[in-house]
């Protein structure tokens, strides 16, 4: 009597009882009973019918996909990356941007909250006196060492001014690992333009794709 049986019994009970309010309902797990393996039947021992079954599955995929390719549709579930961009959730975290004030200067007040929150310690800020007395400081330099960033989004959460954001853009490959995101680069992001670019992507994310039917 292995522990497999115990788990099995628990698993079956899981659905019947109402789960505690704080606990999410557990899926109906089935465990392989490794100590009492199932006896193979006669046809399974013959092995050939099982091979034919396996070939029917893989061959079925082959012919279904080939039928799609031949009729001009896509017979694969993978994305051809540089040409086909995989739609991502609007909540996904990618390239960093610095939000701007109406005059185009950064919204950032160089409070160092993001740098403090960053677990990868990849944000480096040099603060300077802002000419406007209503604003205390502004970042003279704002560098993100993107090769260290882990895209956790904690800088976003820490920021009191909503100055730093992570966009959904994940095309971050560079030819030079010494490259960092400096202030000028982070400020090039245009919210209106990005929103316009993002709309079709978001729409395609919300709807299942045509070839995934």
Of the candidate spans 9-17, 55-63, 111-119, 152-160, the one that interacts with other proteins by CB under 8 A turns out to be 55-63
- The single residue among 22, 23, 38, 58 that binds other proteins, judged by CB under 8 A, is 58
Q: Is the CB of 25 or the CB of 54 nearer to other proteins?
A: 54
Q: Rule CB under 8 A: is residue 59 a binding residue for other proteins?
A: yes
Handedness of CA 45, 46, 51, 57 (dihedral sign): negative
Closest to 88 measured CA to CA, from 158, 146, 210, 171 = 171
Give Cα 30 to chain centroid, integer Å: 29
- Quote the CA–CA distance of 5 and 31 in Å, as a whole number: 8
Q: Is the CB of 46 or the CB of 196 nearer to other proteins?
A: 46
In the bound complex, what is the minimum distance in angstroms from residue 80's beta carbon to other proteins? 6
Question: What tokens appear for 114 in the block?
Answer: 């993001």
In the bound complex, what is the minimum distance in angstroms from residue 40's beta carbon to other proteins? 14
Q: Rule CB under 8 A: is residue 85 a binding residue for other proteins?
A: no
Q: Which value, to the nearest 10 degrees, does the dihedral of the CA atoms of residues 62, 68, 69, 74 take?
A: -110
Closest to 118 measured CA to CA, from 91, 146, 147, 158 = 158
Distance linking the first and last C-alpha atoms of the chain: 45
Q: Rule CB under 8 A: is residue 65 a binding residue for other proteins?
A: yes
DSSP, res 132:
S
Strand positions, DSSP E, the chain: 96-98, 123-129, 137-144, 164-166
In the bound complex, what is the minimum distance in angstroms from residue 82's beta carbon to other proteins? 10
- The single residue among 4, 11, 75, 153 that binds other proteins, judged by CB under 8 A, is 75
Of the candidate spans 73-81, 113-121, 157-165, 182-190, the one that interacts with other proteins by CB under 8 A turns out to be 73-81
Q: Rule CB under 8 A: is residue 61 a binding residue for other proteins?
A: yes
Of the candidate spans 58-66, 113-121, 130-138, 171-179, the one that interacts with other proteins by CB under 8 A turns out to be 58-66
Residues that bind other proteins (CB under 8 A): 48, 51, 54-55, 57-59, 61-62, 65-66, 69, 75-78, 80
């Amino acid at each position: 009597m292995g522990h497999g049986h115990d788990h099995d019994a628990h698993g079956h009970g899981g659905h019947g009882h109402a789960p505690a309010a704080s606990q999410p309902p557990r899926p109906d797990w089935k465990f392989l009973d490794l100590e009492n393996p199932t006896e193979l039947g006669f046809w399974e021992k013959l092995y050939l019918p099982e091979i034919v079954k396996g070939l029917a599955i893989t061959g079925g995929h082959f012919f279904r996909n080939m039928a799609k390719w031949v009729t001009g549709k896509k017979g694969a579930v993978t994305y051809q990356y540089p040409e086909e961009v995989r739609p991502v959730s609007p909540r996904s975290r990618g390239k960093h941007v610095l939000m701007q004030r109406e005059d185009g200067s950064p919204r950032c007040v160089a409070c160092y909250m993001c740098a403090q929150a960053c677990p990868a310690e990849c944000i480096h800020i040099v603060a300077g006196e802002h000419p406007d007395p209503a604003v205390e400081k502004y970042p003279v330099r704002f560098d993100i060492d993107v090769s260290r960033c882990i895209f956790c989004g904690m800088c976003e959460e820490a920021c009191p001014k909503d100055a730093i954001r992570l966009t959904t853009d994940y095309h971050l490959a560079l030819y030079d690992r010494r490259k960092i995101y400096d202030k000028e680069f982070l400020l090039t992001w245009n919210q209106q333009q990005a929103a316009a670019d993002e709309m079709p992507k978001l729409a395609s994310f919300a709807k299942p794709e045509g070839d995934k039917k």
